[in-house]
């Protein structure tokens, strides 16, 4: 009986470990004094660069060929007045949709839907 229980525990642990391996890891600095952060997307070549003090964002793509490396504006509009800017104020949270994130103002709780992708698909829209 002990051998069967041990076997079941090993199998369940293995299944759980394999199921979690599909979840992308997000290495994010815990330093709240940084002005910029890079957020990975589920596309291995694409990141979102966030200015944490004012909410401005860029889509950053890397590649082995220079024609695939670029940085495009997602939003060049500050979400706060200059006197309200503070490093670490804004943070991005991924959604279950590969192209969408939620931008959160960690001071007043306002939120925006952020969508990256082709130029015609990019947008930042306030969630009310």
13 pLDDT exceeds 70?
no
DSSP structural state of residue 25: P
17 pLDDT exceeds 80?
no
Cα 93 from Cα 105, distance rounded (Å): 11
- pTM recorded for the entire structure: 0.77
12 pLDDT exceeds 80?
no
| The pLDDT of residue 20 | 47
Cα 62 from Cα 96, distance rounded (Å): 23
Domain ranges within the chain, ordered by starting residue? 35-127
Measured in residues, the chain has a length of 128
Q: Report the pLDDT averaged over residues 43-67.
A: 96
| pLDDT mean across residues, the chain | 87
């Amino acid at each position: 009986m002990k051998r069967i229980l041990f076997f079941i525990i090993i199998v369940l642990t293995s299944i759980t470990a394999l199921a979690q391996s599909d979840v992308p890891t997000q290495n994010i600095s815990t330093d709240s004094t940084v002005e910029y952060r890079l957020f990975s997307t589920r596309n291995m070549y694409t990141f979102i660069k966030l200015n944490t003090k004012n909410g401005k964002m860029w889509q950053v793509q890397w590649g082995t060929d220079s024609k695939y490396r670029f940085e495009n504006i997602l939003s060049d509009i500050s979400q706060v007045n200059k006197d309200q800017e503070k490093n670490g104020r804004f943070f991005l949270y991924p959604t279950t949709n590969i192209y969408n994130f939620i931008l959160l103002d960690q001071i007043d709780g306002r939120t925006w839907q952020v969508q990256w992708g082709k130029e015609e698909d990019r947008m930042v829209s306030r969630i009310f």
